[in-house]
């Protein structure tokens, strides 16, 4: 038996400030300044972000006398049992409220809502890639599915199949899918995200960190083999080898980012969220001049007829694979590792901080405090020219010791 009775409740009068009247075990009746009497349940919810691991929550049950004392106690007993068993009753309430508005919500509706919000401020290439994951990976399985009926085992089985064919595509798609489901939770469409474990449940990739060629002789062979890559793709690969910037940044580079007078690229690095300047060697300038003959009137340096308006990264990797270089040997991102390792080991540049700045890595520790004060552009201009000259040397070495001997 609680503390309140119908007689006590009827005698409660409004006051300038709201006040609570406990019935017991967290159930109380709050009287508002307007005189409205509202049943509320106060309880503790587990929260690992709090020092105590708990935070106080208040659940509104309804108003008196619409909900009588006996009805409030019955509802309260049910809510206590749910909280004790780990149910998020606040989220459950939001979902029920949402369901009264929409009887069924399919995955496509939620995914499109999420995508419109998520894409704001994102790089063009990132947005296009995500759009592809939604259309080509998620929609074939989930497009018209009631989002509240999506089950983990069903989705996991499908994603394992995708992973076996396209590992990186499966991983990226799983990450975005979980974000969409989190969005559904946050907006009261579903109670919880059943796919939080999806990415971790995918098979572990046998990662081999040999995606960069670190031997100058072998790199010379690779550089020479890229001579046969035709048209814009070939120019893009060769320029990436010379300037060692991120692939995404190169593909989205515009002609407006080229300062011909200063002989440098100037752009905003969307990954690090900072402006970055790349000194251009004589060889890099020559490559850009050749490309300009084809795309000089276009927006992007490496323009194409794709939806993004520029080359697709898969097209570059396809050209590399066709020339016999497997993923276990080289990737485009590995060009940056090749640049840093060979430059340091061959003493093209022994100052690691300068190398880190060249590829726009954050320079950490005491070195970072020193080098953060400037761009060291003069040193990096020298470095990039020396690197391009060394690229030519590696290529010539391969021709002299391998190509000419077979003629």
CATH code of the domain in which 37 resides: 3.30.160.390
Q: Could you tell me if 384 and 302 lie in one domain?
A: yes
pLDDT for 202: 81
Q: Point out the least confidently predicted range of 97-106, 261-270, 292-301, 381-390.
A: 97-106
| CATH number, residue 292 | 1.10.443.10
When pLDDT is averaged across residues 104-114 and rounded to a whole number, the result is 90
Residues 118, 168, single domain; the answer is: yes
Asked if residues 194 and 152 have their Cβ atoms less than 8 Å apart, the reply is yes
Q: Residue 361: inside a domain, yes or no? A: yes
CATH code of residue 153 = 1.10.150.130
Q: State the pLDDT at residue 76.
A: 92
* 68-77, 246-255, 301-310, 360-369, range with the lowest pLDDT: 360-369
- Give pLDDT tens digits for 35-81: 888 999 998 877 655 555 677 888 888 888 888 999 999 999 999 99
Domain identity same for 305 and 356: yes
Structural domain boundaries, residue 122: 107-201
* Whether residue 226 sits in one domain with residue 192: no
Question: What band does 298 get if pLDDT is binned at 50, 70 and 90?
Answer: very high
Q: Is the pLDDT of residue 304 over 50?
A: yes
Domain stops at, among 201, 236, 262: 201
What would the pLDDT profile of 218-238 be if each residue is shown by its tens digit?
A: 999 999 999 888 889 999 999
Whole-number mean pLDDT of the chain? 85
Mean pLDDT of 165-180: 87
- The CA distance from 302 to 238, in Å, is 12
Could you give the number of structural domains in the chain?
3
Of the given ranges (65-69, 124-128, 241-245, 389-393), which has the lowest mean pLDDT?
A: 124-128
The pTM assigned to this predicted structure is 0.53
Boundary-marking domain end, from 174, 201, 228: 201
Q: Say whether both 401 and 257 belong to one domain.
A: yes
Mean per-residue pLDDT, 271-279: 90
The pLDDT value given to residue 240 = 97
């Amino acid at each position: 038996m609680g503390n309140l009775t119908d007689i006590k409740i009827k005698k409660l009068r409004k006051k300038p400030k709201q006040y609570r009247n406990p019935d017991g075990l967290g159930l109380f009746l709050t009287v508002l300044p307007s005189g409205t009497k509202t049943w509320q349940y106060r309880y503790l919810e587990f929260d690992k972000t709090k020092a105590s691991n708990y935070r106080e929550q208040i659940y509104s049950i309804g108003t008196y006398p619409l909900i009588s004392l006996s009805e409030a106690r019955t509802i309260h007993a049910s809510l206590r049992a749910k909280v004790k068993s780990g149910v998020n009753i606040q989220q459950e309430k939001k979902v029920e409220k949402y369901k009264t508005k929409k009887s069924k919500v399919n995955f496509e509706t939620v995914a499109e809502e999420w995508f419109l919000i998520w894409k704001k401020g994102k790089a063009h290439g990132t947005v296009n890639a995500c759009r592809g994951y939604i259309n080509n990976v998620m929609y074939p399985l989930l497009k018209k599915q009631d989002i509240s009926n999506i089950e983990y085992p069903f989705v996991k089985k499908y994603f394992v199949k995708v992973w076996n064919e396209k590992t990186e595509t499966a991983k990226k798609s799983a990450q975005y899918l979980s974000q969409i489901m989190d969005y559904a939770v946050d907006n009261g469409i579903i109670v919880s995200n059943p796919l939080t474990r999806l990415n971790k449940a995918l098979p572990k990739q046998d990662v081999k960190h040999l995606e960069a060629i670190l031997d100058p002789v072998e790199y010379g062979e690779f550089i020479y083999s890229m001579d046969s890559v035709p048209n814009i793709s070939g120019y893009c690969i060769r320029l990436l080898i010379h300037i060692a910037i991120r692939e995404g940044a190169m593909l989205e580079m515009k002609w407006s980012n080229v300062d011909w007078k200063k002989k440098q690229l100037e752009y905003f690095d969307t990954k690090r969220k900072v402006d970055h300047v790349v000194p251009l060697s004589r060889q890099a300038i020559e490559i850009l001049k050749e490309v300009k003959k084809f795309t000089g009137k276009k927006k992007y340096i490496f323009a194409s007829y794709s939806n993004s308006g520029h080359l697709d990264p898969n097209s570059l990797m396809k050209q590399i694979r066709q020339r016999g270089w497997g993923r276990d040997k080289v990737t485009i991102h590995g060009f940056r590792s090749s640049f840093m390792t060979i430059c340091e080991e061959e003493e093209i540049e022994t100052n690691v901080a300068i190398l880190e700045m060249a590829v726009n890595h954050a320079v950490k520790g005491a070195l970072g405090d020193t080098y953060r004060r400037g761009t060291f552009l003069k040193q990096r201009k020298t470095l990039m020219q020396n690197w391009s000259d060394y690229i030519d040397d590696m290529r010539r070495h391969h021709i002299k010791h391998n190509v000419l001997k077979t003629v």
